[in-house]
Amino acid sequence: MLRALGVEDADAVYAYARDPAVTEFVTWEPHTSIEQTVLYLMTVETAYRDAGLLEWGVTLAGSGELIGTCGFARLELDHARGEIGYVVGRAHAGQGYATEAAAAVLRYGFAEIGLHRIEAQCVVDNAASARVLEKIGMRCEGVLASRVRIRGRSRDVKMFARLARAGEGHG
């Protein structure tokens, strides 16, 4: 399930956002304090009100436990294009939750926002993320050399994309 995030989620977000194994391939630094996580969540709450941020908490349907986030890292409505991103805590990795959440965000982008193209990037070494993107029907379009810097090191990324199918988006 996807839902809005709030400062009440600080403990759950901090639990995975501080984990070096979870943050190995992301461009943001691991959280070093619960206060940092609260500030992040306050920014998210403000963005919901002011900018219509489209990032949601990923929760387990039965318990409601928050296990990660998924949403649009970037939207370019003038070009009917968006970029999705996601992260799931280590205890829930490899169980299909990122795939399910990313698929829901992809459907939302095409059906509700009217996007024509949805992109995602993952560090070349992040085979698990590449599998998620392939499972949701995205195609690797190539490798972008030194596209991102993570912990001071330039990293190559794979660029994935999917175009709206008939009836999904604006076309």
Q: In the chain, where are the structural domains located? A: 2-163
Instruction: Note the pLDDT of residue 49.
Output: 79
CA distance 86 to 19: 15
pTM (global) more than 0.85: yes
Write out pLDDT tens, residues 75-116: 999 999 999 999 999 999 999 999 999 999 999 999 999 999
Instruction: Note the pLDDT of residue 105.
Output: 96
Instruction: Note the pLDDT of residue 115.
Output: 95
The domain 2-163: what is its CATH number? Answer: 3.40.630.30
Residue segments in the chain with a per-residue pLDDT below the cut of 70: 51-53, 167, 169-171
Per-residue DSSP letters for the chain? -EE---GGGHHHHHHHHT-TTTSTTSSSPPP-SHHHHHHHHHHHHHHHHHH---EEEEE-TTT--EEEEEEEEEEEGGGTEEEEEEEE-GGGTTSSHHHHHHHHHHHHIIIII--SEEEEEEETT-HHHHHHHHHTT-EEEEEEEEEEEETTEEEEEEEEEEEPPTTTS--
